[in-house]
Each structure stands twice: as C-alpha cells, then as structure tokens.
Structure 1
Amino acid sequence: MMIANALGPVFLLIVIGAFLNRINLPGTDYWPGIERLTYYVLFPALLIHRLALAEFSLGSLGALSAVVMVSLLLVTGLMALLYRFLRFNGASMTSLYQGAIRFNTYIGLAVASALFGEAGVAQAALALGIMIPLVNVGCVLIFAWWVGEEGVNGRAVFIGLITNPLILACAIGLLLNATLIGLPGWSAPTLQLLGSAALPLGLLAVGSALNVKALGHDWGPVLMSSTLKFLVMPATLWAVAVMVGLSTLQQQILVLIGCLPTASSAYILARQLGGDASLMATLITAQTLLAFAVLPLWMMVVVGG
C-alpha cells in the first residue's frame, strides 16, 4: 500500500499530462515551451539546491561513482556482445542502447521524493550528478562506434557536455557544496521555489509527449531494450552496490534510477546523430507505459510495503 500511495500521484500526473495534450490544453504550441522552461531553468534549480545543501563525504561519493561506472561498463559490454549476434543494424542498436541506459530524471526524483523524502532526493541528486555526464558521453561514443563514419568529434562532445544544463547544474551544486559556500542569502529559498515546480511540470510534460500511435510492430527491439532497462540495468546496479557496500538507501536509489523509463531526449539525439529515431519514439512510449507496472514491482523488492 505504501508503494502504491507513493507512486500513484506520480503516474497520475503523467496521465493528466497525456489527457491535457489530448484535449489540446493549453495547446500544442505551449508544451515545447514548458519542456524548455523545465529543462533549462526549473530542473537545474532543483539540482543545484539539493546538491549544494546535501551532506555527503568524499568517500561515499567515490564509492557511488565506482558503482555507477562499473555498472555502465558492464551493461555497455553486454550490448557490444549482443551487437555481434543480433541482426539489428547500427542505427537500431543505438536506440536499444539509449533505451537501456538513459533514464527519465523527472520520474526518478518524483518517486525518490515520494518514497524516501528529503534524504532520498538528496541521494538521488548525487547519483544523477554522477550518471548524467557518464550516460551522455557513453551515448555519443556509441553513436560514433555504431553509426559514425568519421570517428568521435571530441570538440563537439566536450561542448555538448559543458553546455548541458543538467550537467552544469550538477557541477555548480557540487562545487558550492565542496567549497562550503552553500546557498547564501535568498538563493536557497529562491532555488527551492523554482525547483518545487520542476517535478509536477516535468511529469505533465512526460505525459504530453506520449505518442501511442508511435507504437508500431517493433516488438522484438522493444522487448530486448525493455529487458535490459527493467531487468539487467537495475539488477546490475544493485549487485555492484551490494558488493561495494553502499548504504541501503543508496542501493534503493540506484535500483530506482536503473529501472526508470528512457528519457524523451533520447529521440532528439537519435535524430541528430543518425540513429533510428522511429524506433526510439516507440521505445520511449513503450517503456513509459511499462514503467507503470515495473517500477512498483522493483520498489516492493528493494523497499517492501
């Protein structure tokens, strides 16, 4: 019951977003603006606020970083092996890869807040601060490997990373924390107010972006990517976290992030870098819908209740 009560409002907001888009409220021209506001202003404000004021040690941050890096390498290695045996072309494999390792941060932080409170959101923000840049680098490298013809453009990768608002927010928050500057004066309540709007608007935007018509007949790739996303990724993060000795809360947060549906931004990357954008759209919608069933199951396993 506890899990249902925590996750119910999160999924209901996604459904409301889909319904509002269906009845054209506030209008199709407004949703892109809402998404940009959330991505470039509200969500970065939330990350900076949480990370700047979070309490953590360098040792725990190092252990968390090690778990994330090892897990991502293991899943990437598995994908590389699958590439040798599966009959999918490089463009399709990039969509499978993004479907397996990318995650929807809005859903993740909303669930972390609902289940674990302030401590959970702080731990989730720390994990995201580590995972977001690593996942972005990994995806760009995979595109260069499987569909690129001229190798990796290091300068473009670097510019993309340093201009990513979520990566910038994580870096600023961690820097403010490490230097003990924190959030002086009115900055803390201001960022808190901005950040409080990020999750409800982000979840509504997730719902508005759902496109059931995109669900075609790509059930083989959907099954493969969803198995990696909802089974392999969270199980790998959990196993490595247990071996390293992370706290129970950190283990729970990593499992939560691992089984989140893939991010809608994956479609943009697929379009820009020559991936299979049509398949990516299918995966985004299919995984978001599947998450309604899978997330509660995983949370019952690692949290109970």
Structure 2
Amino acid sequence: MQDVASALGPLFLLILLGALLGWARQPGGDFWPSMERLIYFLLFPAMLVATLASADVSQVPVARLALALLGTLTLFAGLLWGLRRYLGLEAAAFTSVFQGALRFNTYVGVAGAAALHGHAGATVAAVAVALMVPVINVLCVTSFIAAGTLGSSSLARSFAALSRNPLILACLIGIGLNLSGIGLPGWSGEAVALLGRAALPLGLVAVGVALRPAALMRLDRGVWAANLVKLVLVPATVLVLALLLDLDPVSRDVALLFAALPTATSAYILARQLGGDAELMAALITGQTLLAMGTLPLWLRLVT
C-alpha cells in the first residue's frame, strides 16, 4: 500500500490544492475557465501526441487491453439501459447517472499511470485514452439522444463537436506519426513534450477547482447507483477480465486504474449543454473524486 499511496498521494494533494483555490476564488475572474480550455485544447493533446508518436506500441497488448476496457464499458452501458425503468429516474437524471457510471477523469488516469510505472505506464495510459475516449463519447452522446433530452439542432452540434474533440484528434495524430515512422522530428519532439509536461499538474489542480462541495448534500438513488457502478462494479469487472486475459503487470495496473477512476469533470458541461441533470452531475463528480482518494489505492493494492 505504501508504494501505491506514495505514487497517488501527490496527485490527490494537487486536487485538494485546487479545491482550496476554488473555495478561496483564487486567482479570480475567468482564470480557471481559461486555464481549463488551455489544458483541454493544447496541453493535454500535446502530451498525448508526444507520448503516442514516440511510443513502442508493439509492447502494449492493445487487443486484450481493448477487450478488458471496452468490453466492460459496453457491458455496463447495456446494463444501465436495461435497469433504467427499475431505477425510476427521469430522463435528465438518467443521463447524468450514465455519465457518472462510465466516464473517467483522464488527467488523474494518465498522471497515476506515470506515477506508478513511469514511461511504460504513460504509454499504456495513452493507448487506453486512444481506445476509450472515442467510444465513451459516442456512448454518452447516444444516451442523450435515446433519452430524448436534446433536439435535432443540438444533436447536429453534438456530433460536430465530437468530430472536433481535441483528445480524439490528438490520439489520431500521435498514432499516425508513430505508424508512419515520421515521429516528431527535430526540435518539435522536445517542444511538444515540454507542453505536455505542464498538462498533468495543471489538470489535477483544475480538477480540484471544479469540485462543488455543496453538491455533496444530494444523496438520492441516482448518486448511489452511479457510485456503485463506477467505483465498485466497473473496476471489479476489469480486474477479473485483466486476470483472465493474462495482461502483463503494467497493462493490468493501468487498466484497473482507469476502471477505478472517478468520473470526468467535463461531464458537468456536457450535462448542461445536452439537457442532463447538471446538479446531479456536480454531486457525482465531487463525491466520486473524494471517494476515489480512498477506493483507488485499495483497488490497486489488490494487484501489487
């Protein structure tokens, strides 16, 4: 537990620092919204491009990793829809539960993988992001469509935004540079890598800033259902699949890490834009982030 705690502890401290800065409203104005856009549209994509363009992907069991992660995602997406009537949630609330149960915080995942296993962990994490981000975005947008919370104009904008998602585009660029053998030539490699190094610490602080402690007062059926799936059932399923598929220790640990992550802070924006229950989403983001500080090390301790 000490090794896991030593690796993840600094990440959680940065999140708590962000929560303190958010509570103190420092820096003021639109600093943090602007910083979040910079991280999302430039710094984090740069990190993905730099990692994937130079990664030895042949060392990553991509097919088995995809089976463990994407198989679990599609399984629980189907189960949630099958249980929708029994949950008794309105359409808007259900879409937030769906996001809360399936989406993952990319910043914490990549930072945690690098902290646990260095460059090898970061490489597997980048592959996991490339596999999961497109699928999970399609699943979540589809959930809004199926629940009927958005109109045709919003539908068109949603798919247009999906095609311009900076993380998806960064993964495609990085993989293309890798497979073509071009890589990042000359000074561009170090320049892009330098940009990417700023993404994780700033991203973790931004996660803390986005937390809404007041939302923790909401403890209804939707909160319990999403937290149970996200923090217990999804990581348990991925762990079983990882062991059955005989993933190597690094791939197994990263797969379990990504499965046990709290939901993404960006889910709140999606809930507001597409007709979800934004307050429920805020409760899930805040509660899961705080709970994961305890559950995430416990899951990883099972395989170390």
TM-score normalised over the length of structure 1? 0.94
C-alpha distance in 1, partners of 2:60/2:13? Answer: 38
Name the aligned partner's letter for residue 87 of structure 2. Answer: L
C-alpha distance in 1, partners of 2:150/2:30? Answer: 36
Query: Which residue pairs with 1:124 in the alignment?
Result: 125
Identity percentage of aligned residues: 48
In structure 2, the CA distance between the partners of 1:120 and 1:26, relative to structure 1 (3 Å rule), is same
1:233 aligned onto 2:234: yes
Matches within 5 A, 1:110-121: 110-121=111-122
Number of residue-to-residue matches in the alignment: 303
Secondary structure of the equivalent of 2:88?
A: coil
Name the aligned partner's letter for residue 174 of structure 2. Answer: G
Name the aligned partner's letter for residue 167 of structure 2. Answer: L
Secondary structure of the equivalent of 1:261?
A: coil
Q: In the TM superposition, what is the alpha-carbon distance from 1:109 to its structure 2 partner?
A: 1.1
Query: Which residue pairs with 1:36 in the alignment?
Result: 37
C-alpha distance in 1, partners of 2:212/2:149? Answer: 28
Name the aligned partner's letter for residue 297 of structure 1. Answer: L
C-alpha distance in 2, partners of 1:52/1:59? Answer: 14
Query: Which residue pairs with 1:173 in the alignment?
Result: 174
Secondary structure of the equivalent of 2:30?
A: coil
Query: Which residue pairs with 1:86 in the alignment?
Result: 87
Matches within 5 A, 1:280-299: 280-299=281-300
C-alpha distance in 2, partners of 1:181/1:297? Answer: 41
C-alpha distance in 2, partners of 1:260/1:128? Answer: 13
Q: In the TM superposition, what is the alpha-carbon distance from 1:58 to its structure 2 partner?
A: 9.6
Name the aligned partner's letter for residue 299 of structure 2. Answer: W
Q: In the TM superposition, what is the alpha-carbon distance from 1:239 to its structure 2 partner?
A: 2.3
C-alpha distance in 2, partners of 1:116/1:196? Answer: 16
Name the aligned partner's letter for residue 271 of structure 1. Answer: R
C-alpha distance in 2, partners of 1:229/1:255? Answer: 12
In structure 2, the CA distance between the partners of 1:182 and 1:32, relative to structure 1 (3 Å rule), is same
RMSD: 1.9
Name the aligned partner's letter for residue 185 of structure 2. Answer: P
Q: In the TM superposition, what is the alpha-carbon distance from 1:148 to its structure 2 partner?
A: 4.1
Answer whether contact 1:141 1:152 (CA < 8 A) is retained: no
Answer whether contact 2:4 2:300 (CA < 8 A) is retained: yes
C-alpha distance in 2, partners of 1:278/1:24? Answer: 20
1:139 aligned onto 2:140: yes
Q: Which is worse superposed, 248-257 or 234-243?
A: 234-243
In structure 2, the CA distance between the partners of 1:217 and 1:47, relative to structure 1 (3 Å rule), is same
C-alpha distance in 2, partners of 1:244/1:90? Answer: 36
Q: In the TM superposition, what is the alpha-carbon distance from 1:135 to its structure 2 partner?
A: 0.2
Query: Which residue pairs with 2:256 in the alignment?
Result: 255
Matches within 5 A, 1:56-205: 56-57=57-58, 60-148=61-149, 155-205=156-206
Answer whether contact 2:19 2:210 (CA < 8 A) is retained: yes
Q: Which is worse superposed, 49-58 or 121-130?
A: 49-58
- Per-residue CA distance 1:117-173 (angstroms, 9 max, x = gap): 110011000011110000000001111112347689875454222210111101100
Matches within 5 A, 1:205-220: 205-220=206-221
Structure 2 unmatched ranges of 5 or more: none
Name the aligned partner's letter for residue 116 of structure 2. Answer: L
Answer whether contact 1:3 1:300 (CA < 8 A) is retained: yes
In structure 2, the CA distance between the partners of 1:157 and 1:20, relative to structure 1 (3 Å rule), is closer
Answer whether contact 1:234 1:259 (CA < 8 A) is retained: yes
In structure 2, the CA distance between the partners of 1:57 and 1:85, relative to structure 1 (3 Å rule), is same
Name the aligned partner's letter for residue 207 of structure 1. Answer: G
C-alpha distance in 2, partners of 1:250/1:19? Answer: 34
